[in-house]
A and B are shown apart, each in its own frame.
Chain A
Amino acid sequence: MRVVNKGQIDRSRPIGFSFDGRNHVGFAGDTLASALLANGQRLVGRSFKYHRPRGLWSAGSEEPNALVTARQIPNQRATMLELYDGLAAESQNRWPSLRWDVLSINDAFAPFLGAGFYYKTFMWPRAFWEGLYEPLIRRAAGLGKLPRSHDTGRYEKAYAFCDLLVVGAGPAGLMAALVAGRAGANVIVADEDARMGGRLNAETIQIDGQPGDQWAAGILAELASLPNVRLMPRTTVTGAYDGGTYGALERVGHHVAAPGADLPLECFWRIVARRCILAAGAIERGIAFANNDRPGIMAASAVRAYLNRWGVAAGRSVAVWGNNDDAWRTAQDLAAAGVRVAAMLDSRADPARAKGPHDFPVFTGTQVVGSRGRHGLEGLQIRDPKGTRMLACDCLAVSGGWNPTLHLSCHMNDRPVWREDIAGFVPKPGAVPGMSVVGAANGTMDTTACLAEGARAAQDCLKDLGMAGVDVDLPQADDGRFDISPLWVVAGQGRAWLDFQNDVTVKDVQQAARENFASVEHMKRYTTQGMAPDQGKNSNMAALAVLADATGRGIPETGTTTYRPPFVPVAIAAMGAGGRGKGFAPERFMTSHLPTVERGAPMIEAGLWYRPSYFPRPGETTWQQSCDREVRAVRTAVGVADVSTLGKIDIQGPDAAAFLDFVYINRFSTLKPGRVRYGLMLREDGHVLDDGTTARLAPDHFVMTTTTAAAGLVMRHLEFVHQALCPQFDVRFISVTEQWAQFAIAGPKSRDLLNSLLETPLSESAFGFMHCGEVRLPGLTARLFRISFSGEHAYELAVPARYGEALFRDLCARAETMGGCAYGMEALNVLRIEKGFITHAEIHGRVTAFDIGLQGLMAQKDCIGRAAAQRPGLLGAEREQMVGLMPVDPLQAISAGAFVFAQGASAQRDNAQGYVTSVCWSVTLSSHLGLGFLRDGRARYGQELRLVDHLCGVDTVVRVVDPVFFDKEGTRARG
């Protein structure tokens, strides 16, 4: 319930929300947790395994119990979910309702369901694990449910850079930011809370005579006014990575009532910081005792936070129990606010802090040994030197001490060090390069010292950054000492809970130790302690203290498990932001894209490019019909295809020819200007990298074409060769792929088509096969190459890309007028298979020039891959060599990927003699055709072999033939 005159909420702005369908009202500034507590909702969730009723434990991101689903997003911590109008939250892991949950029956079977139970229980029969047991267990145990629909929420990722990243805006972080900000450093302050100030917002501490939250507000106002300081509230730094890079998750739209379609829900930041100050504070831990998980049993600091920040009393009658002085602040604050304090219990025998007078009953040397109340705390069983008795109360505020929030300091694999005086681990100095840790995160437990430490760390950072420091008055706070006498577990009957989120008890950890899972890492995996979304933030310390006790070692020797990023759960959607839909990969469009799509061509991806598969015409019902028509058009009339996607590399310089001689196996220095030559290039290991034609435009000016697939690869290769192997060569190259739109015009009527377009018609003698040069189109100069990938008399015409679309439309119209048409990738593939031309289906990375029958191109000169290509085993009959394959029955389809066997041999791997790389139906030859590789293939023309594709169900006989099926003499291309 609300307490008058307390809290930083805006009571003039009520906010309606619902929980499990019941309507409630909270106020602006509330979290779902504080509003639920204010509305008397103590039961907020069911536990993971035993479906135990659970209530709020904390007020921060470490919350293990209050996980809810809102806007179809499961596992949101109610403590971090800011209230907005219309928020409809649902509890999780219960059926049919939170109060009456059928699976709470699990709790009755707890004796059988302890740590490792499924490892032991579900061993037999083995096959049942995956099909039966695991699905059952997963259904019974669990967190929230993912919706079945696609996540339509918008997520974002972003990059930021700064001199100093301050993680946490509590007293230490604010002082650090103030010093660095005033000194002019570029500062980012990230804090996971919506309201910066850290514990100052949750305590009644005074700083320089001012309430802590007001002091923080003043500092924040100054920081906000500095142009060099960026405040990032609602931003959790999730991980520390190499090179001063930090991951951070910003909640952007979760708290907005009507976020709209464009507002991201979350933004995942990659922050590169020259220095980092970790001031993430500390997390209060509990003390394990029997049934310590009842709703109403909370961290003492959370009870203070709900009271001081949100004006909510966590109970009508609150007992406070601690092993340190800090816990007493809880009783004091509650009493001052008029909330009944049932008792202040201190486990220490005679703490100085107990000296009165006090406004509440005080019991020292007292432990809580049990509790009652199924759906909410009703009373405690307490034990002091005089005996055991009951204490009526509906809330227990527990403090077992504080664990510094040092997680980020361990993300580069360093382990923290133990500090006896605070009974906690603190970061190892220098654990993350460039990061210093201050304040409670560093084990500094009084506010005055935290403020000083933050300021000092910032001064040190400024010095490291080469910046002048500034003088800042160090404020004084009025909080006192933090004397702690460790108490982890109270011995007794009943289950004492360590990990609320994964339902791990003290007994589970002890059992792990008994079964020799004595290493902390083994214990974690055996019991699942620390594995849940809270990653053991609440339970790790107590669990390892129990383990230390059970194994007879000290806590420092037992050590902690590894802390890994992320510090809080991060939605995959946030990490993958920008990758949905069209963000997955860019699309590269040719200049002819629009007219191509307009003609109804289905587009296929070639790398990032989109190319037409075929151009359907009315009446054609299958792609094969369109493809056949296009092939016939090229063989009998003229076809037009956009080949702009092939890589074009402009190569210039006095050593350009020498450079090409070095990267190609054949010679280019002898190529005359105005001529084109086919070239093959190898990798350094002697295998084929790519092929293509290169034109010599001028003595020291070439244009190389590459395959579409390998355009980037070849460019990278050329850069490597030039920079690393022959930097003395005076040669420069740059991609001109995008500068030129280039179209193949192929077929017997190709010259006629061109001549209808060119200002000066071509004659056969003036522009023979493998010629190139500039030609004039109306109003512009184009490049013309007489090359052919179809085996026909063909040209490639290149114009500046701005004219590409117009030229394509024009060429198509002319071709159609002449009885031809545009052709797509399917027809292009058939045409080249008929001619035995290779693509990357053949030069797939494991073949040599010898394998594809192009060994003869290798000129008497050095080139990349030459030596390696001569190695034994890469030349000779033992190689699988490229051959043509024709089914004996020409109508029998064959498949790429099929294997070839001797007839009569069984179709199994060790009998394979070769494989098929490309197939097509050749309308020209009225037969299915295939290209493939066959052991000693060139010597086996005429042989009949068995072709088997187990996947496609093909088993037929093929004849081995020359891979050039059509026009072996090449007269058509030259004619």
Chain B
Amino acid sequence: MVSLIAKHALSGQAPLALQDLHFQIEDLGPITSIAPFNGQESALNAVLEAGHGLRFPVPNTSTQQAVAKLLWSGRGQAFLVGVAPDARLAAHAAVTDQSDGWVTLGLEGARAEAVLARLVAVDLRLTACPVGASLRAQVQHIPALIHRAAPQVFHIMVMRSFGQSAWHEVSEAMRGVAAR
């Protein structure tokens, strides 16, 4: 019997480059939500350190070790991206596979901040949103997790079904900014 073909929510979507702005689909690898159980934070951190070299992030931040990142994603919750989770984590936290539930869009450029300022009502200046910041906000009407991966690089994570709308919103905002 033949196996099923995997397909991305934005399959076939070509990157969009406008002047210095670049917009594309990112592949972060596995995404796993980790929500520590009551009183398990330090035990969880021990496993995170041992397994991934990471600590559980405080709100609106992330921690990183090579390709592995732990992005704060909500109250008492973070997304482990880039690596498969250490099996021992499940003893201390609710561990849920979210790899297929999210679409990550990468926006890069000196004016990436200006583009997102058209869509996101949160202060994204470097002073308020430094590299590594990871925050929940809406992109226009779409709930998103926004991660600043580098001074001029944002990763915008939205739920899979919103992928096309999110692409549309960001690319429209890009066009407006680029046209100035």
Q: Which residues of A contact B (CB under 8 A)?
A: 154, 156-161, 186, 252, 259-260, 262-264, 270, 272, 578, 582-583, 585-591, 609, 650, 652-654, 730, 732-740, 757, 759, 777-780, 799-807, 810
Question: What is the total of A-B residue contacts with beta carbons within 8 Å?
Answer: 148
Residues of A within 8 A of B95 (CB): 652
| A732 and B179 contact, CB distance less than 8 A | no
Does A738 contact B100, Cβ atoms closer than 8 Å? Answer: yes
Bitwise, B104-127 to A at CB < 8 A (1) or not (0) is 000000000000011111110101
Q: Which residues of B contact A158 (CB under 8 A)?
A: 117-118
Alpha-carbon distance A807/B2, docked complex (angstroms): 11
Q: Given that A582-B168, A583-B172 are known contacts, is A736 also in contact with B178, CB under 8 Å in the complex? A: no
A801 & B160 in contact (Cβ 8 Å cutoff): yes
- In the complex, the answer to whether B7 meets A732 with C-beta atoms within 8 Å is no
Q: Which residues of B contact A160 (CB under 8 A)?
A: 117
B140 touches A780 (CB 8 A): no
Q: What 3 A-B pairs come out closest when comparing CB atoms?
A: A779-B3, A732-B94, A262-B179
Q: Is the CB of A802 within 8 A of B6?
A: yes
B8 CB, nearest partner CB in chain A, Å: 7
Please pick, from B4, B37, B119, B123, the residue contacting A799 in the complex, using a CB distance under 8 A: B4
Establish whether residues B77 and A734, one from each chain, have CB atoms under 8 Å apart when the complex forms. Answer: yes
| Sample of 10 further A-B pairs with CB below 8 A, known A578-B118, A778-B4 | A159-B117, A159-B118, A161-B123, A586-B141, A588-B159, A589-B164, A652-B94, A652-B95, A778-B2, A799-B4
Q: Cα distance A186–B124 when bound, in Å?
A: 13
Residue contact B2 to A272, C-beta cutoff 8 Å: no
User: Main SS of the interface on chain B?
Assistant: loop
Q: How far is the CA of A738 from the CA of B142 in the complex (A)?
A: 14
Interface size of B in residues (CB-CB distance below 8 Å): 55
Residue of A186, A759, A801 touching B127 (CB-CB under 8 A)? A186
Chain B residues with CB under 8 A of A157 = 118
Contact between chains at A806 and B5 (CB < 8 Å): yes
Known: A802-B7, A803-B4, A807-B4. A738 touches B172 (CB 8 A): no
10 A/B residue pairs, CB under 8 Å, sorted by A: A262-B179, A583-B140, A583-B169, A585-B141, A589-B164, A591-B160, A652-B35, A652-B95, A737-B101, A738-B161
Q: Which one of B3, B77, B140 lies within 8 Å of A578 (CB-CB)? A: B140
Contacts of B120 in A (CB 8 A): 159
Contact B176 A156 (CB under 8 A): yes
| B161–A589 CB distance below 8 A | yes
- B168 in contact with A730 (CB, 8 Å): no
Q: Mark B51-71, 1 if CB is under 8 A from A, else 0.
A: 000000000000000000000
CB-defined contacts of A733 to chain B, threshold 8 Å: 94
- Please state if B176 and A732 are interface contacts (CB–CB under 8 Å): no
**Given the complex of chains A and B, what is the CA–CA distance between A740 and B175 in angstroms?**
34
Residues in chain A near residue B93, CB distance under 8 A: 732
B97 contacts the other chain (CB 8 A): yes
Closest to A163 in B: B127
B100 touches A810 (CB 8 A): no
In the complex, chain A residues whose CB is within 8 Å of the CB of B117:
158-160
CB neighbours (8 Å) of A800 from chain B are 97, 99-100
Cross-chain contact B101 with A587 (CB below 8 angstroms): no
Is B42 on the interface with A (CB-CB < 8 A)? no
Contact (Cβ within 8 A) A650 B94: yes
* CB–CB A739/B98 < 8 A: yes
A256 to chain B, nearest CB (A): 10
B125: chain A residues within 8 A (beta carbon): 161, 186
Closest to B31 in A: A739
**B23 located at the interface, meaning its Cβ lies under 8 Å from any Cβ of chain A in the complex:** no
A719 nearest CB neighbor, chain B only: B75
Q: Which residues of B contact A270 (CB under 8 A)?
A: 121
**For residue B173, which residues in chain A have a CB less than 8 angstroms away from its CB?**
156
With A583-B169, A653-B37 as known contacts, state yes or no: A734 contacts B94, CB within 8 Å.
yes
B96 within 8 A of A: yes
CA distance A734 to B98 in the complex (A): 10
B143 → A minimal CB distance (Å): 9
B1 at the interface (CB under 8 A from A): yes
Query: Are B3 and A586 in contact (CB-based, < 8 A)?
Result: no
In the bound complex, residues from chain B placing their C-beta under 8 Å from that of A735 are 101, 159
User: Scoring B residues 139 to 180 as 1 if CB is less than 8 Å from chain A, else 0, what string do you get?
Assistant: 011100000000000000001111111101100110110111
- The contact of A739 among B37, B77, B100, B119, by CB within 8 Å, is B100
Is the CB of B102 closer than 8 A to any CB of chain A? yes
Q: Check: B45 CB closer than 8 A to any chain A CB.
A: no
Q: Is the CB of A739 within 8 A of B7?
A: no
- Is B87 close to A, CB under 8 A? no
Who on chain B is nearest to A269 by CB? B117
Question: Which A residue's beta carbon lies closest to that of B138?
Answer: A586
Contact of B97 among A154, A739, A777, A807 (CB under 8 A): A739
The residue of chain A having its C-beta at the shortest distance from the C-beta of B178 within the complex is A262
B163 CB contacts on chain A under 8 angstroms: 589
Q: Give the CA-CA distance A759 to B2 in the complex, in Å.
A: 11
Chain A residue nearest in CB terms to B175:
A262
Q: In the complex, are the beta carbons of A739 and B94 less than 8 A apart?
A: no
A652-B94, A802-B8 in contact; A778/B37 too (CB < 8 A)? no
Instruction: Please indicate the chain A residues that have their CB under 8 angstroms from the CB of B140 in the complex.
Output: 578, 583, 586
Q: Are A806 and B96 in contact (CB under 8 A)?
A: no
Whether the pair A590, B121 counts as a contact (CB closer than 8 A) is no
Q: How far does the Cβ of B88 sit from chain A's closest Cβ, in whole Å? A: 16
CB-CB under 8 A from B176, the residues of chain A are 154, 156, 262-264
